[in-house]
Structure 1
Amino acid sequence: MSNPLLATQGLPPFSQIRPEQIEPAIDQLLQDNRDTVEKILSGLTDPDWDTLVAPLEEMNDRLAKAWSPVSHMNSVVNSDALREAYNACLPKLSQYWTDMGQNQEMFQAFQTLAESEGFQKLDEAQQKVVTNTLRDFRLSGIALQGEDKQRYAELQQRLSELTTRFSENVMDASDAWQKEISDESELAGLPPMALAAAKQLAQMKEKTGWLVTLDFPSYIATITYADNRELRKEIYTAFATRASDQGPNAGKWDNSPVMEEILTLRQELARLLGFDNYAEYSLATKMAETPQQVIDFLQDLAEKSLPVARADYQQLCDFARDEYGVEQLEAWDLAYYSEKLKQARYAISEEQIRPYFPLPTVLNGLFTVTGKLFGIEIKEITEFDRWHKDARLFEVSRQGTVIARFFLDLYAREKKRGGAWMDDCRVRRRLDDGSLQLPVAYLVCNFNSPVGDTPALLTHNEVTTMFHEFGHGLHHMLTQIEYADVSGINGVAWDAVELPSQFLENWCYDPEALGLISGHYETGEPLPQDLLDKLLAARNFQSGMMMVRQIEFSLFDFLLHQQFEAGKTDIQQLLNDVRAQVAVIKPPVFNRFQHSFSHIFAGGYAAGYYSYKWAEVLSSDAFSRFEEEGIFSPEAGQDFRTHILEMGGSREPMDLFIAFRGREPDVSALLRHCGIAEENT
């Protein structure tokens, strides 16, 4: 029987993929690719695009198309067999990419191409592919010799295993904790939707009563609304100590040694390549030029935000004391009393507006908004091969021509990684036969699923999350670039990659757009004016506290990767020091936030978490053009599509931003949008 992972046409055949087929398919592709490289390089005297770059792109795309569904399913329908097959392939893939990055003959061929007359005849995107490749050769240790070269390969392989283990530990620790509740009074305060979801979850697991878990929709509902302080403390403790040496499962999936080893090996890798530390190495592919520039940027933001954040926190403490007699706010009280304060001040809660954001309406509204902005149409395809019954598929068209597709997987469930993300399934590129391979994206969230006949109802935060991920999706899908390495989000500097996603979030707060994305699930009535006014008034509620929280995560990540020394750096102490400098809230001593900080230990954000704030400066300033010209300005929309979304990684992000905005970015729009500027300018 043929291996479905080796099929190169069409969309992945998810339902046909068996764990036992994964390793043989990857083995075969890696061997095929090695043979192809040998064939390309043998007798290659005068390398050009067609004899060197195009065939390498073709073979690597074939590998990407096989690995993409495996990696995706490992995240969304994880099983022991799938995890085992996935993990068996990681060292092989790591070795393959190390070998590619250290192939002297290939490096020389690219060097020769870059220095040839033919290079000047390549278009801008092609030149970017070649210069990026030469940069990546240097970052892959092309200059290393002997033992150093071997050590680099070992480091990459081990890091790939460790980051996966970190992620698995978080998933297993999250899945391991649940609380069965038989007395409904223990859940007093929880909104009806959250209660119904807890009951449905218990029924699915053949339990009586209600089930509370660490899946984010269940956790956030409990910590925000449960009147039962002991229950809040219990779930907070379980959540804040996942995969650590503390809490109800202390030591069972402890990421402490995993983090130590990851950081130790990252520093060794950076130094092997001639950098002082991993933070320096990380910036080699980013917009920011020096570690000090990043630290100054974050500290400057902290300085501007801290007075507002302190005032936010003081107001919360005063409110809890004056209205509820709570003298000492604990970590498990913050979300609860913040919600009470928000309701007292603005007479609005996330739950109150949830009925106005049924998923089908939000989705249609999202498609209408992006259609108006970028001239695209989106329609659902019902017949396709799924990995889970919740998976959906859509087609994106412009002027009647299909230009992209995307999968949606929106509901939280067991064996699915938490959080929300966009990933690429297929990249846009011109194929050998002249045809165009269309981009395909995965868009994944973890919302509450529909309960009974009621559709999934989203909080406004969840609506914003969906717009955010769709912004990433548009960056991938609307690209006009035809070379895989700089097509869509590929080749985009990591600290600019959040620009389209954060940019799109702004429409979740625009009255005109909200009319399109809201509608009561029973009556279809759009969000009433009084609720809309309250939602907009509450937009910057505790924005100072939120800003310094993001700065805390960003500084911790960056300083950790800049300063870490094996056996000397105490990770917890470094985090405590950062908190002393920029935080207004001191978590309890058992809090082990870092042990589930997957962005930096298992995602691509190591020494790059600051990118969220860096890109938010870009996105706020980009959006300010729409504030000036009109929220659905066709000219501004077309310019954003042309200069940002269509260009992928084919040009430097600063050049693209200037082409769109007519100048370099200005931080004042971000501070204004966060409600911080008024108090601090």
Structure 2
Amino acid sequence: MDNPLLKNFDTPFQTPPFDKIKSEHFMPAIEEAIKEAKQEIEDITSLSAAPTFENTLEAMEFAGKRLSSVASILSNLNSAETNKEIQATMREASPILSEFGNEIWQNETLFDRVKTIYNKKNELSLDNEQEMLLNKTYKAFIRNGADLNEKDKARFKEITKELSQLSLSFGENVLAETNDYELVISDEKDLSGLPESAIRQAANTAKSKGKEGKWVFTLQAPSFVPFMENADNRVLREQLYKAFMSKANKNDERDNKAIVQEIVNLRSEKATLLGYKTYADYVLEERMAESKDKVQRFLDDLLQQSLPKAKEEVAEIEAFVKELGENIDLQRWDWAYYSEKLKKKKYAIDDELLRPYFKLENVLDGVFQSAEKLYDIRFKEVNNVTVYHDDVTTYEVSNTAGELVAIFYADFHPREGKRGGAWMTTYRDQYKENGADMRPLVSNVCNFTPSSPGNPSLLTFNEVTTLFHEFGHALHAMLGSGHYGSLTGANVYWDFVELPSQIFENWCYEKECLDLFARHYETGEKIPQEYVDKIKASSTYHEAYATVRQVSLALLDMAYFTLEREDAQNLSDIEEFEEKAMEPTKLFPKVLGTLMSTQFGHIFAGGYASGYYSYKWAEVLDADAFALFQEKGIFNKEVSQSFKDNILSKGGSQHPMELYKKFRGREPKIEALLKRAGLK
């Protein structure tokens, strides 16, 4: 079989030839690429020459490039454009890839060579990046079982294979539950309160599903959110909310409760094997936060700052409901609806007022222009890069000298083969080899309100900030300038990775930035200052409630992964465990049948286990960092150059606190976040 994955990509910029890649190519390519990588590792271990940084550390870094490429293409397609064949391939490939990883990290000869170099590192003249690669590689061996006895090594391998399969199954179940649900409306009266854009989109969805003349709402965010915020029919809001919050919690073949128990148990066992008390101890050793106690103090402090005000916000909504003459007990499916109504009353602003100024193509152009003004890079749409779906658009990113910076893939609309949410990913990280600077292939994947015949894609302000957020991640990946792919771009400590994304959201609130792109899609008029003032004034609206929500998820995450071995083994009632973990943040009564754990993909199918606190942690960093931009000017070249040089281009080549101090001149302070959030 002619397999494009096993050839050097003879394409513009060596991008993946998606037009030639088929599902059946992946397994043969993975098997062959593993053989190739094993040979590259054997070439290192069989060297008679004494171990050096170059012949061992660098050689390891550059080994297995083809395998990394094939695995990243498969993984990214499984998230952005999956089908039954891709999912089956992913299930087959995942344990094989885990096993190969274990073989590398438990290779005694390889570890001995690395350990020899590590033990004499003070005698070597290593720069910061080389020292980080050495330290990170040595730790990776230890953290992947290199020092275990043979029995424990075998068990460690079993655990990693099982965990990779369980995470895949968890994600597949959530995706299937999301795709299968439909709220079908036949009576036009049930659309009362909904904006025209939501009604139109629901009609288009119904038509695409063969239900002409009806309206279909789904659990995808562009459908779910407008319904919950605007639909007057309380019974249907309750129905949709319960469907959303009961994903993979129905005691059927897609139920994730047993998977949650097993993932928690296996992660605990893995950590214990390696000598850690809990999985959180294992994870946080490689984070800015450093310890579970420090994370707990951070979350407790945030909760103390936000919970009293969040309770006031709930009481304000309850009073508002009474003021409207409605005799109800406020429930979770009422919150977004009445919160949106009160927001309109207080600030005379809502999504429908702002949408006309946020045509997707214009917002993307604004993102590009902001990046150009800050970092002197240019974006040009190109048609010679093949894509995995017609929705995807590609751009060549270059610097002022015309040199290639990156290739950027933009994939913005929901479809059945794409999981929910928004993310940045890469098909190739930036690295340097043999004098060549290999530039990254970077992708943003989102689920924004799609366009329809005669109606452009008009974003909510929340979607605008999401686009800026994900593009902040993309800039981190694009602007890398290191030698080693494992240390460039977003390959940083997990509680530092959100700084470049979250700081970029701040520009959305500034008139100077909004004037670059926020124009009415019909009249071309700039967004009025009055609206910008309202966006800013309303930016702290129910921020305490939102903070408590984020803290509640972080507490749930920490509760699972601070379980000691016996408690992790005996975890039985997921619903009871979740309720107890989130009790300190409770603002509404429990809704029967709903469960966060069974759909909490961040920690059970993604990389945020013991790390969900990172979002709030990074908010401290981003608020503190943006305060400098506000002081000097949001497009100030000196500040942006410093942010680029000390944060974006450095990746994970140095400890993040050292990088932050080089940019800011000091450690971050929480005051800027509390002020921005209206909590101080």
Residues 1:561 and 2:561 aligned together: yes
Which of 30-39 and 158-167 deviates more?
A: 30-39
Alpha-carbon distance change, 117 to 443 in structure 1, aligned in 2, over 3 angstroms:
closer
Offset from partner CA, 1:310-337 (integer Å, 9 cap, x none)? 1111111111121141431111111111
Q: Taking structure 1 as reference, are residues 34 and 474 closer, same or farther at Cα in structure 2, changes over 3 Å only? A: same
C-alpha change, 1:623 and 1:567, in structure 2 (3 Å) is same
Residue 235 (str. 1) matches residue 237 (str. 2): no
Partner of 2:24: 20
Q: What is residue 294 of structure 2 aligned with on the other side?
A: 293
Give the Cα separation in 2 of the matches to 1:640 and 1:355: 33
Return the alpha-carbon distance in structure 1 between the equivalents of residues 469 and 327 of structure 2. Answer: 36
Alignment of 1:224-623 (within 5 A): 224-245=229-250, 251-399=252-400, 400-432=402-434, 434-490=435-491, 492-563=492-563, 564-568=567-571, 570-623=573-626
Q: Does 1:69 align with 2:81?
A: no
Give the unaligned 5+ runs of structure 2. Answer: none
Q: 2:432 is aligned with what amino acid?
A: R
CA–CA distance in 1 between the matches of 2:502 and 2:122? 39
Alignment of 1:31-50 (within 5 A): 31-50=35-54
Paired with 2:262 and 2:221, the residues of 1 have a C-alpha distance of: 28
For the structure 1 residues 202 and 327, does the alpha-carbon distance in structure 2 shift closer, same or farther, using more than 3 Å as the test? closer
Counterparts of 1:95-110 in structure 2, within 5 Å, are 95-110=99-114
- The amino acid across from 2:297 in the alignment is D
C-alpha contact 1:309 1:548 (8 A) present in aligned 2: yes
Structure 1's unaligned 5+ residue stretches are none
Secondary structure in structure 2 of the residue aligned to 1:516: coil
Alignment partner, residue 197 of structure 1 = 201
Counterpart residue type for residue 367 of structure 1: F
Q: Find the aligned partners of 1:324 and 1:94 in 2 and give their Cα distance.
A: 59
**AA paired with 1:430?**
K
SS in 2 for 1:411: coil
Whether the 8 Å CA contact 1:119–1:127 is kept in 2: the answer is no
CA separation of 1:134/1:354 partners in 2, compared to 1, >3 Å: closer, same or farther?
same
Tell me the alpha carbon deviations over residues 251-293 of structure 1, each in whole angstroms, 9 at most, x when there is no partner. 2410010000000001000000000010101112111121111
**Farther off after superposition, 315-324 or 260-269:** 315-324
| Residue 183 (structure 2) aligns with | 179
In 2, Cα distance between the equivalents of 1:443 and 1:532?
26
SS in 1 for 2:324: helix
Q: CA deviation at 1:569?
A: 5.6
Q: Which amino acid aligns with 2:194?
A: L
CA contact (8 A) 2:555 2:581 kept: yes
Separation in 2 of the partners of 1:402 and 1:671? Answer: 40
SS in 2 for 1:105: helix
Taking structure 1 as the reference length, what is the TM-score of the superposition? 0.96
Whether 1:667 and 2:670 are equivalent positions in the alignment is: yes
Q: Aligned equivalents of 1:583 and 1:643: distance in 2? A: 40
Computed over aligned residues only, the root mean square deviation of the Cα atoms, in angstroms, reads 1.4
Return the alpha-carbon distance in structure 1 between the equivalents of residues 121 and 143 of structure 2: 26
In the other structure, the counterpart of 2:628 is 625
**Length-normalised TM-score, structure 2:** 0.97
Question: Alpha-carbon deviation of 1:119?
Answer: 6.4
C-alpha separation in 2, matches of 1:66 and 1:591: 38
Match of residue 61, structure 2, among 57, 60, 74: 57
Instruction: Give the Å deviation of 1:375.
Output: 1.6
Residue 676 of structure 1 aligns with which residue?
679
What's the secondary structure of 1:521's corresponding residue? Answer: coil
CA distance in 2, matches of 1:373, 1:350: 28
Distance 1:554 1:17 in 2: 39
Superposed counterparts of 1:62-141, under 5 Å? 62-116=66-120, 120-141=124-145
Letter matched to residue 313 of structure 1: V
Deviations 1:157-195 (A, max 9, x none): 000000010000000111111122222221121111111
Report the 3-state secondary structure (helix = DSSP H, G, I; strand = E; otherwise coil) of the residue aligned with 2:301: helix
| 2:396 counterpart letter in structure 1 | E
- Return the alpha-carbon distance in structure 1 between the equivalents of residues 66 and 274 of structure 2: 30
Deviations along 1:126-166, one digit per CA (max 9) or x if unpaired, are 11111100011110011111211100000000000000100
Partners of 1:44 and 1:118 in 2: CA distance? 23
| 2: CA distance, partners of 1:587 / 1:542 | 21
Supply the distance in 1 between the matched residues of 2:57 and 2:122 (Cα, whole angstroms). Answer: 13
- Residues 176-234 of structure 1 show CA distances to partners (whole Å, capped at 9, x for unaligned) of 11122222221121111111111111222222121111111111111111111111111
Identity of aligned residues (%): 39
Write the deviation string for residues 437-468 of structure 1: whole angstroms up to 9, x where unpaired.
11111110001111112221000000000111
Poorly superposed stretches of 4+, deviation over 6 Å: none
Give the SS at the match of 1:565. helix
